[in-house]
Amino acid sequence: MEDRVRVVIAEDSVLLREGLTRLLTDRGHDVVAGVGDAEALIKTVGELAAQDALPDVVVADVRMPPTHTDEGVRAAVRLRKEHPGIGVLVLSQYVEEQYATELLAGSSRGVGYLLKDRVAEVREFVDAVVRVARGGTALDPEVVAQLLGRSRKQDVLAGLTPREREVLGLMAEGRTNSAIAKQLVVSDGAVEKHVSSIFLKLGLSPSDGDHRRVLAVLTYLTP
């Protein structure tokens, strides 16, 4: 299976952890470990690293024992620093801007932040896991809306047309040009023109390669 990925799940709710495992394994992916707290997550990934068997992606709850505050996202940030090749997708009950911003700081590849309600949309959730594992981004629309809404880069925002802002929001969710076209009911060519215009207005040259999509999104999400 070309898109098969290896996953570690960190979630203190046994029911949800088992549910996520079932969703992923039923679609041909390998859940190599499931843990219930941040300390176990760090230990497990370290052990896998020692065996030269790092997972492609970690799916972690933002809040985990013992305090149920920010243990999960702290572990995710740490793993991104210690193992840059691992994708990290965090799940949260609510949009927590501080945690989302912290997670997005630094490397722009292989990161995702989804609300737990999004798990119910099975195909989108599994696609997000695979996308993050492959070095892409997956940001919940609610996260994008809140972070864009409080961005202080009004000078840059003012340079975009309403349609370009809409396209950028969908880009931030991790959607491809084709998916954006379907969402907006326009042609692929129209979306490509909007994306090119966004890159131009943000000063992102072709030399930035495929990273331009991520850089464009981060320009807006960074306060």
Model confidence pLDDT, tens digit, residues 40-50: 999 999 999 99
Could you read off the pLDDT of 90-143 as tens digits, one per residue? Answer: 998 877 777 777 777 665 578 888 988 888 888 889 999 999 999 888 888 777
Angle at 132 between CA 129 and CA 133, to 5 degrees: 80
DSSP state of 211: G
The answer to whether residue 88 scores a pLDDT higher than 90 is yes
Enumerate the domain spans of the chain: 6-145, 160-221
Q: Give the mean pLDDT of 66-95.
A: 88
Distance separating alpha carbons of residues 62 and 112, to the nearest angstrom: 12
The answer to whether residue 152 scores a pLDDT higher than 50 is no
CA distances in angstroms from 122 to 19, 65, 126, 181, listed in the order given: 11, 26, 6, 21
The answer to whether residue 54 scores a pLDDT higher than 50 is yes
Share of the chain above pLDDT 70, in %: 85
Could you read off the pLDDT of 178-200 as tens digits, one per residue? Answer: 999 999 999 999 999 999 998 88
Distance separating alpha carbons of residues 187 and 78, to the nearest angstrom: 41
Q: What is the pLDDT of residue 220?
A: 62
CA-wise closest residue to 36 among 28, 27, 44, 24:
44
Q: Give the mean pLDDT of 52-58.
A: 95
User: What architecture (CATH level 2) is domain 160-221?
Assistant: Orthogonal Bundle (1.10)
Q: Residue 7: in which H helix or E strand, if any? A: strand 6-10
Distance separating alpha carbons of residues 53 and 164, to the nearest angstrom: 41
Q: What is the pLDDT of residue 16?
A: 92
CATH of 6-145, one of 3.20.20.80, 3.40.640.10, 3.40.50.10190, 3.40.50.2300: 3.40.50.2300
Q: What is the pLDDT of residue 206?
A: 72
